[in-house]
Amino acid sequence: MIATGDALLTYVADLVWEIERFAVTVLPPNDSDEITLGREDDGALVIDLECRPPRSRRSADVHLGIFERWCPTGVDRYERVDYRFEIRHDELQYRRAFHRHHVERFLRAFDVATHEHCEATIGVVTCDHYFGEPVAHASEGFMRLYELWLSDEKPDCSVLPCLG
C-alpha cells in the first residue's frame, strides 16, 4: 500500500470512526491526549492504537492493538512496511495476532512475508508462527479480531498451518 501523508491522516480518522461505531474505545498511544500519526526518527509514520471492547465490570480486560508502520518512499509518499494486529483476552486466556514485520527474515525462513500467532491459552505456544493471509488494511485487521472477540470462544489454533 502506498499513501500520502494527508491520505494517512484521513485513514487514521476513518479507522477510529469505524472502530468506535462498534462501541469500542480507542485509546491514544503512550498515554497521549490525542490520537494522531506518530513520527519516528527515520521519517516513518506510525499508527499505534489500543482498543478496548465493551465489557462488564466484573470481567477481565481485553486488549486489542492496531499497529502499522509506513516508511517514506519519496516526497510525501509512504509505503506500509509493517503491521501488527493483536488481541489478548485475559478472561478467556487467549492471544491471537496477525503480523507482517522482519519481511526479509520471514521470506528467507518461510517464503512468506506475513504470519500469525495463536495461543488458545496465553503462554502455551504449540507453534511459533502460523501461515497468515495478508491483512489488506487496519479495518480488516480490526474486524478479524473483533469477530473473534464477539464469538466469546477461544480460537482453534489446531486448524492453522504451522510454519515452524
Does the pLDDT value for residue 84 go beyond 90? yes
Q: Give the residue, 56 or 75, on which the prediction is more confident.
A: 75
pLDDT at 58: 58
Note the pLDDT of residue 56: 64
Within a domain: 109: yes
Question: Is 164 domain-assigned?
Answer: no
Q: Give a yes or no: residue 38 inside a domain.
A: yes
DSSP secondary structure letters along the chain = -EE-HHHHHHHHHHHHHHHHTTTPEEEPGGG-SS---EE-TTS-EEEEEEEE----TTSPPEEEEEEEEEEEEETTEEEEEEEEEEEEETTTTEEEEEEE-SHHHHHHHHS-S-EEEEESBTTB-S-S-EE-PPP-SHHHHHHHHHHHHHHTS---GGGSPB--
Q: Across residues 111-119, what is the average pLDDT?
A: 93
Question: What mean pLDDT is predicted for residues 50-59?
Answer: 78
In the predicted structure, residue 61 carries a pLDDT above the cut 90:
no
At residue 30, the pLDDT reads: 76
Is a pLDDT exceeding 90 seen at residue 55?
Answer: no
CB neighbour list of residue 102: distance below 8 Å, 6 or more residues apart: none
Q: How many domains does the chain have?
A: 1
The reported pLDDT for the residue numbered 59 is: 59
Does 73 have pLDDT greater than 90? yes
Q: Is it the case that residue 17 has pLDDT exceeding 90?
A: yes
Task: Check whether 31 has a pLDDT greater than 80.
Answer: no
Find the mean pLDDT for residues 132-156. 95
Range of the domain at 78: 2-159
Q: What is the pTM of this model?
A: 0.92
Is 135 among the domain residues?
yes
Asked if residue 124 is part of any domain, the answer here is yes
Determine, yes or no, domain membership for 123. yes
CA distance 81 to 83: 7
